[in-house]
Chains A and B, each alone.
Chain A
């Protein structure tokens, strides 16, 4: 249960950032940890459990997103991001500026190709490059290329 407590919020954030509703993301996290329970019960490897957990969450998230999009024919992700509440702390003007900047940042991330988004979001959740490579089934070199591209785009956009 300590792993559940440690990774529930990062996994929810990861799933939600792909446009999956929170209720669905919560269900995905449940499935991830039931799978983890079975994985451990069968005596399988305990190495890199964080990577294992994110890999299952990643696969389930993409599956769920695909299913949701089939059902409702494309939700407007940018509109959903815009609807998310911003940080209420600080004075109103500062808070507004921060919220706007974060909104812009998230909108740019949302516009990146899926693979770049995945790399960036997992990095933002603290995963090592080698863990990200395992989750996505790509090489360490590819992770660095995707991260470099996404960060360069964000910096360019930041400079206006």
Chain B
């Protein structure tokens, strides 16, 4: 017995992923041979598309061995790069930091989380610079770049390092003594991945170790905004304005209200 009309195509598609909201529709589908057959047709087409993709592409795929080795190498390079970036802070701390970090980085990816945990346990050396830049000194600056150019920035360049000479200039401008500089990342206010440039007005010392709002959290915002801009979910100018005006407010708006605990 059927207690309603046949299900629509959309209901059948929803049923295929167990997303059919209506109990009556579910009951109907359970007893209606015609709807079952239509549902099977839909699923059959999906299976055929999957098979066609596999048949057309899989035979051309190179072996996984080399890509896997390349990825391992690139991850190791990333870890070593991170370690060398943070080396001065560890030397100032006088705790064999750089050598230990480099060895561990090259030894195993698995130790990375442990290293990050150690970083976060170091207390801030200075509270003289806020998690937000001084807008008079760092209002933000962008280069003349189209959306296409901004989106052509490689994924790993979305969060880009600042040159050592620029770092020195920024520390001097904000009056941060040499002994405390390891506790900051000199960061782009508007990241290159959103069209920001190397102008000193776009750089400021951002603390690593503040409990909630720190350089790591801002990196996450930068990646998120880049993705949104390049998938046309957000206008480039709006993203630049949001991150330059108050990156914490932007994070809460575009990522989440409170950063996840590391």
- State yes or no: do A and B come from one complex: yes
Q: Is the CB of A63 within 8 A of B227?
A: no
Those of A123-160 within 8 Å (CB) of chain B: 123-126, 128-130, 137, 140, 144-145, 147-148, 151-152, 154-155, 158
Q: Is the CB of B155 within 8 A of A35?
A: yes
Instruction: Report the minimal beta-carbon distance from B21 to chain A, rounded to whole angstroms.
Output: 10
Task: List the B residue with the shortest CB-CB distance to A35.
Answer: B155
Instruction: Report the minimal beta-carbon distance from B238 to chain A, rounded to whole angstroms.
Output: 16
Q: Is the CB of A125 within 8 A of B56?
A: no
The number of chain B residues with a CB under 8 A from chain A is: 56
Q: Is the CB of B46 within 8 A of A30?
A: no
Interface presence of B154 (CB below 8 A): yes
B57 proximity list for chain A (CB < 8 A): 12-13, 16-17, 22, 84
Count CB-based A-B contacts (< 8 Å). 148
Task: List the A residue with the shortest CB-CB distance to B43.
Answer: A151
**Alpha-carbon distance between A148 and B19 when the two chains are bound, in angstroms:** 14
Encoded as 1 (CB less than 8 Å from any A CB) or 0, chain B from 248 to 262 comes to 000000000000111
Q: Is the CB of B231 within 8 A of A154?
A: no
Main secondary structure on chain B at its contact with chain A? helix
Known A31-B154, A148-B10; judge A22-B62 contact (CB<8 A).
yes
Instruction: Report the minimal beta-carbon distance from B232 to chain A, rounded to whole angstroms.
Output: 9
Known A34-B74, A41-B112; judge A17-B53 contact (CB<8 A).
yes
Those of B1-23 within 8 Å (CB) of chain A: 9-10, 13-14, 17, 19
The interface stretch among B64-72, B84-92, B164-172 is B64-72
Encoded as 1 (CB less than 8 Å from any A CB) or 0, chain B from 144 to 187 comes to 00001001101110000000000000000000000000000000
Main secondary structure on chain A at its contact with chain B? helix
Which B residues contact A (CB, under 8 angstroms)? 9-10, 13-14, 17, 19, 41-42, 45-62, 64, 67-68, 70-72, 74-75, 78, 109, 112-113, 116, 148, 151-152, 154-156, 216, 219-220, 223, 227, 230-231, 233, 260-262
Counting from the closest, the 8 A-B pairs by CB-CB distance are: A43-B262, A124-B50, A102-B52, A84-B56, A87-B55, A31-B155, A148-B10, A129-B17
Which A residues contact B (CB, under 8 angstroms)? 1, 4-5, 8-9, 12-13, 16-17, 22, 26, 29-31, 33-35, 37-38, 40-45, 55-56, 58-60, 62-63, 66-67, 70, 81, 84-87, 102, 105-106, 109, 120-121, 123-126, 128-130, 137, 140, 144-145, 147-148, 151-152, 154-155, 158
